[in-house]
Structures are given as structure tokens and as C-alpha cells.
Amino acid sequence: MPFSHHSHSGEFCMHASNTLEEMILTAIELGFRSYALTEHMPRDQPEDLYPEEVAAQQTPFDLYRTFASYHATATQLSAIYSPRISLPIAFEADYIRPSSLDLIASLRKQYRFDYIIGSVHHVHTIPIDFDLAMYQKAVHVCGGSEEKLFEDYFDAQYEMLIELKPAVVGHFDLIRLFSGWNKGKGLKACGDSVWGKAVRNLQTVVSYGGLLELNSAALRKMWTTPYPGWDVAEAFRDLGGRFCLSDDAHKIDQVGLNYYKALEYVKLLGIDRLYYLERLSAGGTGADVLDECAVRSITVEDLEKERFWKLLRERDEARAGSA
């Protein structure tokens, strides 16, 4: 079953493009059977606004209003398109500081969501994936040590995992995006302390049955693999962890992008089964549930038989022909 557990739209995210409905229609055209809607949570501190939001004179109140509009729109579109595609409604929960946990709890109480993605985009409240300048600022705050930055990132991630137990863990090793430190050598080369904290976090995800996304967005950011890198994915596999797929698309051209390469990565890792989340029917229960979703699985062998791959190939060939 072709699925993605992580996506954004320009309607509700300033660094994305296209409307939420356009993202959904593209997923339908490509043969996705499940495409999760997962816009970012609002941030409640003015100092957490991104430069693009400051330039647009946004405030935390505007982010809350956008989030409310997202939930209402997603609920409406999910009902409209449910005969054609499953559209779990979720949000990307971003751990910035300990008080972020209270905000996340408040959002989950106020709105009905099927699950959350647990992500970390900040260390010591500084974005580490926005651009190189901000990443270097985070390094500076950590005394100029990338090793310390990595350690602090994984400690923040650990607190997020322990407190939230997110159904899907987003881009596990995002901290490596702008790092030139031990580039291409993997986290093991970053020292025992960094690697030990990463493995501790993977063990935590396994302990509560969470899904670790294989996120193909890393490939469009010039990585050679999806998130997470090979050594992390291998360690999670050996721990008995469960993987899901995500494209983390931010516009229609990125829906399903690099899924061929993600599938090849899955096969090279020797993963024979992938997992996905399915909305529980009204009043439904199940033995394997994360948040408000049932956990299902499909063999990689069966996944390769899906019509999705033919439609994806036709899309990519048409793009190449018009280039």
C-alpha cells in the first residue's frame, strides 16, 4: 500500500507551496491509498518565529489561527475524499523547550487528531535545519562543539520521546543536515557519547511500539539515503523496530518524490515489512493501536506489486519529457 505519514502544504506552511486540496488530489492521481495531513504545530513564543514569518509580520496568534484553519480544512477534505483515499489528520509536534510539551498537550485536547509526528527542529531554541547560519549559531551556543550540539539534540529528542511517545518519529537524524562533521561516515563516527544517545532513543521508540519514518525528503536535500542514515536505520532494524514511509512533501512536485530510491533503501537494509497507520473506525479498537490509529503492515514484496509504481514512473517520465 503506497502511503506517506508526513506532508505539508503552502496553504498552512509559509515554506511550502500549493493548497492542501492540491496535495491530496496529487496523491490520489499517483495511486496513494493513504496520505497523512501533518501541518506544523503553532509556536507560542515571538522569538520562535522564523525569518519568513517575521517578514510577513506574523505573530504567534496568527500561527494559532492558521492551525485552527488547518484542522477545519483537513477535516472537511478528509470527509470529501474518503471514498478515494485515506487521509489521517495529524500534526508535526515540535519540541523546542520543556514548555512545548504543555502546548502540545493543549492542542491534542482542543482538537481531534489521529496521531502526532514527534520532531525536533531546535536545539537550545535555535533552529538547526533552517539554514547554515542558524545551524552555526547553535554550534556556537554549544561552545563551538558539534559533538556537544549532537548530544544536546539527542537529549532533547529523548525527552520528547519519553513524554509524548509519538506514533511517528520524524526525520530522526535531522541534526546532520547542515553538519560537515564526519560527513558521510555516520553517527558512529561521531563518538561513543553521540552514538549511545542515538541508540538509547531508538530503544525508546521500540519500547512503546512507535514507527520510525524513512523520510525520502533527505534525498532531495542531497543525502545519499532517506532519513535516517544507514547506521541508524540498521540499528533500529536490529532492535526489532518498525519503519514507515514518508515523503515529507512541501509541494505537489514532491509527492512521492524519490520513493523509488526509498524502496531500494528498504531492500538494501533487508527490511521485509513496512508499517502504516490507519484511522480507527468509529468506536473501533484493536490490539495494536498508536494514538487514534490502528497499526497495519504490508510486506515489501506486496508493496512492489502496487499500481502506484507504474503511475509514479509515468509521472516522472512525463516530467523528464517536458524538461
Cα 230 from chain centroid? 17
Number of domains in the chain: 1
Range(s) of the domain holding residue 68:
3-322
Q: Are 255 and 248 in contact (CB under 8 A)?
A: no
Task: Give the model's pLDDT for residue 282.
Answer: 45
Residue 283 has a pLDDT of 47
CATH assignment at residue 269: 3.20.20.140
Residue type present at position 21: E
pLDDT tens track for 40-63 = 999 999 999 999 999 999 999 999
Question: Would the pLDDT of 37 be above 70?
Answer: yes
Average pLDDT on 234-243 reads 98
**Mean pLDDT across 17-40:** 96
108-128 average pLDDT score: 96
Peptide bond into 228 cis (omega under 30): yes
- Please, what is the end-to-end C-alpha distance for the chain in angstroms? 30
Is the pLDDT at 104 greater than 80? The verdict is: yes
Q: State yes or no: pLDDT of 14 exceeds 60.
A: yes
Residue 3 has what DSSP assignment? Answer: E
Q: Note the pTM of the prediction, 2 decimals.
A: 0.95
* CB distance 34 to 278 below 8 Å: yes
**pLDDT over 90 percentage in the chain:** 86
CA distance 70 to 218: 25
For residue 293, give every residue at least 6 positions away whose Cβ sits within 8 Å of its Cβ, in sequence order, or none.
88, 114, 115, 167, 277, 278, 279, 280
Question: CA-CA distance, 22 to 213, in Å (whole number)?
Answer: 23
